[in-house]
Amino acid sequence: MEIDQILNSLEDQLSLKTKQINSISGGDINQAFKIQCEDGSKFFVKANIRGIKGMFEAEAKGLELLSAQFGEVITPRVLGFSDWFLALEYLNGDPFSDASWAELGEKLAVLHLNFSNRFGLEFSNFIGSNPQPNRWSDNWGEFFYLDRLMFQVENLGSDSLKDLLESKRDKIIELLSEHHPKPSLVHGDLWSGNIHLCSGCTYLIDPAIYYADREVDLAMSELFGGFPSIFYQSYFELFPKCSGYEKRKNIYNLYHILNHASLFGGAYQGQSIQMLNDI
C-alpha cells in the first residue's frame, strides 16, 4: 500500500479532518508523520508500506501494558492502529537534563518491580521489524538461549554461526541462570532513541516488552554509547548491581547485535561472532 493510501485509511478509521501532514525523519523501519487536524489536535503516525502483519498491534499492546503496569502515564496514548499504521499522542521534544535522566533511572527501577512468576509473555511481538517470539518459561537461561539468540541465528541462516552458538549453549544458560533473576517486566529495546522527554515527563516508546531478567534493559542502555552516569546511579539506588553483570551484559547485547545483522547486514555478523567467541 502506498503512503497516501495509508494516510487516507487512517483518516477514515479515526474520523480525522486533516489540515497538514509533515514527514518526520529518524526511523529505520517505518515512515513517520506529524498530523495536524482542523480542530487543532495533533497526532504522531508511524506507517509501513509493507503492512507487516501484527507489528503495530503488538506495539500498541506493549505501550498500553507498560503504562498500566507502571501506574502512571509513561507512554504516549494509543489512538488507533492497523497493519499499516500506528497513531499515537503527539509529544513535543525537550532536551534532557540531569534531573530527567535521574527520574528515568528511578522510573525504570519501579517498572522492573512488576514481577511475573514466569519468563516470557502471552503474546509475541517485534524487535524492529523482526519477530520476537514469546512463550511462558520457568527457565530464564534456556528461554533466552532458544527464543532470543537461537531464533535470531536461525533467522540469519548461517550454519557456522549456529554451530558456534550451539557450542556455547551450556555456558550461556549457566551464566544467565546462576544469579536466579526474577521475571521483571522490561521495555526490551531500551536505547536513547526510544526515550522521549516532553513537558518535563519522560516517556518510553517503541517497546519490545516481555518478562525477563531486568538486566536486559540495563545492558541495552549501554550498547550504543550508554546513558549519563546519573541515570545508573538513580537506578542502582533502588536495584543494586548484581555480581556477574558484565558477563551477562555481553550475552544480552548479543541478541541486539544479531538482530541488527538480520536487519542491516554490514559488520554486525562479524561482531556477533566475536561476541560469541568472548563468552
Q: Kindly give the confidence (pLDDT) of every residue in the chain, 279 residues in length, as a single tens digit, with 9 standing for 90 and above.
A: 788 888 888 888 888 888 889 998 766 788 999 999 988 889 999 999 888 999 999 999 999 999 887 665 589 999 999 999 999 999 888 888 899 999 999 999 999 999 999 999 999 999 999 999 999 999 999 999 999 999 999 999 999 999 999 999 999 999 999 999 999 999 999 999 899 888 788 899 999 999 999 999 999 999 998 999 999 999 999 999 999 999 999 999 999 999 999 999 889 999 999 999 999
* Fold topology of 3-89: Phosphorylase Kinase; domain 1 (3.30.200)
- CATH 3.30.200.20 domain locations along the chain: 3-89
Taking the C-alpha atoms of 98, 102, 108 and 110 in order, what is their torsion angle to the nearest 10 degrees? -160
**pLDDT score, position 199:** 78
**What class has domain 98-277?**
alpha beta
Residue 132, Cα to own-chain centre: how many angstroms? Answer: 10
206 labelled catalytic? no
Query: Exactly one of 189, 206, 213, 217 is catalytic; which is it?
Result: 189
Query: Can you give the pTM of this predicted structure?
Result: 0.94
Within the chain, which residue ranges are assigned CATH 3.90.1200.10?
98-277
Using an 8 Å Cβ cutoff, are 149 and 254 in contact? Answer: yes
**What integer pLDDT is reported at residue 254 of this predicted model?**
98
